Amino acid sequence: MAATYPSGIRAFPVYANGDQVTPATINDPDLEITALETGLLQGLAHDLVPDVTGNHRSLGTPGQEWYDLRVSHDAVVAGTLQVTGGVTLSGAVTLTALTVTGEALFGSNLTVNGDFRVLDKFSVVESTGTTSTQNLHVQGNIVATGTLNVAGVTTLGGSLHVVGPTTLDSTLTVEATADFLANLNVAGVTTLSGSVHIVGATTLDSTLTVFATANCLANLNVAGGFTVNGLVHVIGPTALDSTLTVGGTANVLGNLGVAGSVVVSGATQLLTTLDVRTAITSNGQAGVTVGTSATTLYTAALVNGADVGGMVLVCGTRVGNAAIQFVDWVLVMTDGAASLISGHSKGAADSRVYSWSGLNFQLTMGANSYHVTAFPTLVGTAGA
């Protein structure tokens, strides 16, 4: 007769004194004992389950622990799983919550469908590996020694410290202050919706286009061309160490201090007083030497395609004798009129004859040679 274990539980008879002992009395318990020993040593042929109070049954104790736990199918842990050593998982693992206090190495893909929280360091060893997560919350530092690819939005609530080069193939939106302690190279378009505060030197090797107001609170050094299509409002002093070329109208609402030369190639309209503290250059004819031959003092310009008249202030000093001087106020018209309105001489200056040759206003001295400067003033307009 075969043993009932492991398919069932054998029911043994209850013996009393004087009952007859048969071979089955000895053999049946022996069969069950042999079946139990075989199952314990060679493998159980049935499920190993606790009783109805199984939530209080344990495998091992803190002082007596099992060595290896090998499971070929599913393992469902309803409580906390504490692992003090290494864990090797070769297949798919579904965890509701995983807390790792030591090092955790993932040799393949790690897919997290919910939040992924790292309280300390998180390292991706394989450069060809992939780490994807919906939400990554890091309370400590993130050190990326390789490439960090982010396909969606990245929100940084604190500081971002980048030691090496960083390449952004798409839009970078910064809603708070961004401090750059080293070089910032931008190959494409940069759109700034708020203020830009630059503490140190900034070099722009290409075009800077500003569609709104640009406030420069310190020095602005431009080594190349500077094109402004709109209004330029300068509150404080402005120094130009080189040429300033204005292709259109320039309105100066306050004082304009010029330490060097000012060359005006077109018409100039003065809406208020012109205070001249030094010599004025008129078409390059400043400080010309005039003798007994007709010499051009300035060349008149056309206004709206027509000739106009004006007043000319002429100052002269004899060559070799600065004590002899003259100042004349001449009314001129480019049709040939040149009338001396008022003249003043110091030290018996020689006579003067004013005339026109085309659009050239000329002076002829009666004798000797003089250093002469002319200051023409437009007094009318034409072609209106």
Residue 154: the pLDDT is 75
Residue 264: the pLDDT is 64
Looking at the chain, how many residues does it have? 384
CATH number of 288-378: 2.60.40.1680
Residue 285: the pLDDT is 43
The two three-digit tokens of residue 59, written as one number: 């495998």
Quote the DSSP letter at residue 199: -
Residue 80: C-alpha distances to residues 69, 97, 99, 139, 198 (Å): 16, 9, 9, 23, 54
Question: Cα-atom radius of gyration of the chain, to the nearest Å?
Answer: 51
In sequence order, what are the residues at sequence separation of 6 or more whose Cβ sits closer than 8 angstroms to the Cβ of residue 200? none
The two three-digit tokens of residue 142, written as one number: 């993130």
Among 290, 292, 332, which residue's Cα sits nearest to residue 313? 332
The gap between the terminal CA atoms of the chain, to the nearest Å, is 135
Q: Judge contact between 337 and 273, C-beta under 8 A.
A: no
Can you tell me the distance from the alpha carbon of 361 to that of 213, in angstroms, rounded to the nearest whole number?
46
Can you tell me the distance from the alpha carbon of 296 to that of 306, in angstroms, rounded to the nearest whole number?
20
What are the boundaries of each domain within the chain? Answer: 1-48, 288-378
Among 175, 163, 127, 173, which residue's Cα sits nearest to residue 148? 127
Print pLDDT tens along the chain (384 aa). 788 888 888 888 888 898 888 888 888 889 989 999 998 999 888 888 888 765 677 888 888 988 888 888 887 877 777 777 777 777 677 777 777 776 777 766 777 777 777 766 666 665 555 666 666 666 667 777 767 777 777 777 767 777 777 777 777 777 777 777 777 777 777 777 767 777 777 777 777 777 777 777 777 777 777 777 777 777 767 777 777 777 777 777 767 776 666 666 655 666 665 555 444 444 434 579 999 999 998 887 665 555 567 888 999 999 999 999 999 999 887 677 788 999 999 999 999 999 988 888 899 999 999 999 988 876 444 443
Give start and end residues of each alpha helix (H) in the chain. Answer: 23-42
Please report, as a single letter, which amino acid is at residue 96: T
Residue 92: the pLDDT is 72
Whole-prediction pTM value?
0.32
Among 283, 275, 286, 341, which residue's Cα sits nearest to residue 310? 341
The two three-digit tokens of residue 169, written as one number: 């193939």
Residue 354: C-alpha distances to residues 282, 286, 326, 346, 357 (Å): 17, 17, 14, 19, 10
